């Protein structure tokens, strides 16, 4: 079921390129930054944030083009632009070496900040991430290549498409409240344009420089992957682990791309174990 999320104070930061990012900070302790993917927002991390904020300072943010952040037409929402956004936010938050937990495109964003912008990280936890080829479902690639056509769909057809697309990310059936939570941001006129714009701008040319430098990852890395991921095959977990020095990977049974909802308790335990393992290594 959709997790209840405590009322928090969201802040907005205007980046140097003019894009507006919504974010909030909660809890106390060593910092951990949670990065979402597409077509999601930080809402997918709410239960994990609830679990972590007893021992960590948790930073949640919505990438430009998603959630509470700016959805204005014409803005750059490419993976490269999101990498720059995270890099700039780390400066705004004055974080020198946070732990980072990332899902889907958020994984490419986190790795890009680490490898291309040399941002130190205490630990990386990567969940069903977009990095290695091939990535993107056949539907994703179809929309990416014909975004202008999809932007002109009648609202009812667009809504049906978004609902079907999001349902396909879960191995277990999403309950109604969770589905509404994930679908709602994309159903307005602005949301429809933003939905297809962010897909159109997701290109492998932004992930290839990251793939080329995976052997340079210098932070302890844990990879978690839904064994039934229909969007990005689970075999990528072992390939990714083999590309990152000393990375460890675990397959999550009976979970699809949205591990957060298919196996929330197991995901929470695996993340806590990864963070605690690094805490033990420091002592």
In this model, does residue 174 exceed pLDDT 80?
yes
In this model, does residue 261 exceed pLDDT 50?
yes
C-alpha distances in Å from residue 199, one per residue of 21, 76, 136 = 19, 12, 9
CA 279 to chain centre: 24
Cα(98)–Cα(121) distance, integer angstroms: 5
pLDDT of residue 141: 84
pLDDT of residue 165: 93
In this model, does residue 44 exceed pLDDT 80?
yes
Q: What is the arithmetic mean of pLDDT over 252-262?
A: 98
| 8-22 pLDDT per residue, tens | 689 999 999 999 999
Which pLDDT band holds residue 3 (cuts at 50, 70, 90)? Answer: very low
Q: Domains in the chain, ordered, with CATH?
A: 11-134+205-282 (3.40.50.1820)
In sequence order, what are the residues at sequence separation of 6 or more whose Cβ sits closer than 8 angstroms to the Cβ of residue 171? 226, 228, 229, 230, 254, 255, 256, 262
Q: pTM for the whole thing?
A: 0.94
Q: What's the mean pLDDT when you consider all of the chain?
A: 94
| 106-165 pLDDT per residue, tens | 999 999 999 999 999 999 999 999 999 888 778 888 988 999 999 999 999 999 999 999
| 195-217 pLDDT per residue, tens | 999 999 999 999 999 999 999 99
């Amino acid at each position: 079921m959709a997790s209840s999320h405590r009322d928090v104070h969201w802040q907005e930061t205007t980046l140097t390129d003019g894009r507006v990012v919504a974010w909030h900070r909660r809890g106390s302790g060593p910092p951990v930054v949670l990065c979402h993917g597409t077509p999601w927002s930080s809402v997918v991390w709410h239960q994990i944030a609830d679990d972590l904020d007893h021992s960590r300072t948790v930073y949640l943010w919505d990438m430009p083009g998603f959630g509470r952040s700016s959805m204005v037409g014409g803005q750059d929402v490419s993976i490269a632009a999101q990498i720059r956004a995270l890099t700039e936010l780390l400066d705004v938050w004055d974080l020198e070496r946070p732990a980072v937990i990332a899902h889907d495109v958020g994984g490419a964003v986190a790795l890009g900040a680490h490898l291309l912008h040399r941002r130190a990280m205490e630990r990386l936890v990567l969940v069903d991430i977009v990095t290695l080829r091939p990535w993107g479902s056949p539907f994703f690639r179809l929309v990416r290549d014909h975004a202008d056509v999809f932007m002109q769909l009648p609202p009812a057809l667009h809504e049906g498409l978004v609902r079907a697309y999001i349902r396909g990310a879960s191995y277990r059936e999403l309950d109604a409240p969770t589905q509404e939570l994930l679908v709602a941001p994309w159903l307005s006129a602005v949301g429809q344009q933003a939905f297809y714009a962010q897909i159109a701008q997701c290109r492998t040319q932004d992930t290839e420089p990251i793939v080329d430098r995976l052997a340079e990852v210098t932070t302890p890395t844990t990879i978690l992957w839904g064994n039934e991921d229909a969007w990005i095959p689970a075999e990528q977990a072992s390939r990714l682990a083999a590309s990152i020095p000393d990375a460890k990977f675990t397959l999550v049974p009976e979970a699809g791309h949205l591990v957060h909802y298919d196996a929330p308790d197991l995901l929470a335990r695996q993340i806590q174990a990864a963070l605690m393992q690094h805490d033990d290594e420091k002592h």
